[in-house]
Amino acid sequence: MKNIFAVALIFLSGTLFASPGMMDVSRLPDRFAKADVAFLDRVNSGKAIEALELYRAIYSRIPKDSEAAWRVSMACYFVGFNISRNKDERIKLFAEGRDAGLAAAEYNPISTEAHFWAAVNMALYGQEVGVLKMLFTLGAIKEHLEKSLELDPKYAYGGASRILGKIDESLPEVLGGSKERARRYYEKAIGYAPDEPLNYLFLARILKEHFKDKPRAIKVASAGLDCKIEEPYRFESFEALRLLKEFLGDAGTVPEKYLKN
């Protein structure tokens, strides 16, 4: 149970610029421009930390700014999950991210980003402080993900659908889990974001491991490898492509055109 969310969350940080029209830095809100540009370069840990500090500064000046709050939540997630090696520091970051995300959702109840990042940080905070804590908050986590999904299913490249699927896949049926529902969530995620290889990876894995449908799993994974990722900041998606190739390699079916890549 401890790792219910780990696999689902590990690649979710590449989502600030998930919506069409957000790719052009010149169109970003002026007050966030410097911080957003730093976050785009989050593969450099120093830039990720700089972005968090800049978001915090803006949020402290305008404490009821929903966009500042959810950005703090997002950056807390990224720094805590990908950079921090200290458990106490991670707990503080995820608690800060949780509170900022919940505040953002309170300030703007129709903010997709607020509900999404509140849920992510709630899950990770619960994972750090104990499985029981996470289970107690699972209902609230799912509610925020479902609200994010309702508001914009394409956000985070189908991220809310992907996490809801992972929750259903990981939980035993006695606690409300469902492999069939998880499969449907992954299929919907592909529909929302057909250019995100993570969605194909999650579906391929459950098809092979639970439904024992290796032929379809191979077909799905192969389709995922055909995703064309042109944005350099989507390093999480590039990692998913590597894992898809590894998945097909384990199945002994890597398409010839990828063998030299």
Domain's final residue, options 154, 189, 224: 189
The reply to whether 107 falls in a domain is: yes
Q: Answer yes or no: do 44 and 70 share one domain.
A: yes
One domain, residues 214 and 93? no
My answer on whether 218 and 166 are in the same domain is no
Of 157, 139, 213, the closest CA to residue 180 belongs to 213
Q: Range of 247's domain?
A: 194-261
Which pLDDT score, from 0 to 100, does residue 220 have? 98
Whether 161 and 240 map to the same domain: the answer is: no
Residue 183 lies in a domain: yes
User: Which tens digits make up the pLDDT trace of 147-204?
Assistant: 999 999 999 999 999 999 998 998 889 888 999 999 999 999 999 999 999 999 999 9
What local confidence, expressed as pLDDT, does residue 234 receive? 85
| Helical ranges in the chain per DSSP H | 6-9, 33-40, 45-61, 66-82, 87-107, 112-129, 131-136, 138-151, 159-170, 179-192, 197-209, 214-225, 235-250
170 with 202, same domain: the answer is no
- Supply the pLDDT for residue 256: 60
Indicate whether 208 and 151 sit together in one domain. Answer: no
Q: How far apart are alpha carbons 11 and 193 in whole angstroms?
A: 15
- The string of pLDDT tens digits covering residues 110-153 is 999 999 999 999 988 988 888 777 778 899 999 999 999 999 99
Is 232 part of any domain?
A: yes
Model confidence pLDDT, tens digit, residues 190-249: 999 999 999 999 999 999 999 999 999 999 999 999 999 988 888 788 889 999 999 999
- CA-CA distance, 199 to 196, in Å (whole number)? 6
pLDDT at 235: 77
DSSP state of 173: G
22 and 116 fall within a common domain: yes
Report pTM: 0.87
pLDDT band at 30 (very low <50, low <70, confident <90, very high): confident
- 27-53 mean pLDDT: 90
Q: Are residues 140 and 177 in the same domain?
A: yes
**66 part of a folded domain:** yes
Residue 119 included in any domain: yes
Write down the pLDDT at residue 64: 95
Instruction: Let me know whether 184 and 200 are in one domain.
Output: no
**Is 228 inside a domain boundary?**
yes
Question: Looking at residue 15, what is its pLDDT?
Answer: 43
Write the pLDDT tens digit of every residue in 47-74. 999 999 999 999 999 999 999 999 999 9
Residue whose structure tokens are 């911080």: 35
Question: Has residue 41 got a pLDDT over 50?
Answer: yes
CATH code of the domain in which 58 resides = 1.25.40.920
For the segment 18-29, what is each residue's pLDDT rounded down to a tens digit? 332 333 444 557
Given 167, 189, 211, the domain boundary residue is: 189
Q: What pLDDT is recorded for position 80?
A: 95
Whether residues 19 and 72 fall in one domain? yes
Specify the number of domains making up the chain.
Answer: 2
Of 189, 218, 239, the position where a domain reaches its end is: 189
State whether 136 and 69 are in the same domain. Answer: yes
Would 1 be classed as within a structural domain?
no
How confident is residue 11, by pLDDT bands cut at 50, 70 and 90?
A: very low
Do residues 41 and 90 share a domain? Answer: yes
Q: Is the pLDDT of residue 10 over 60?
A: no
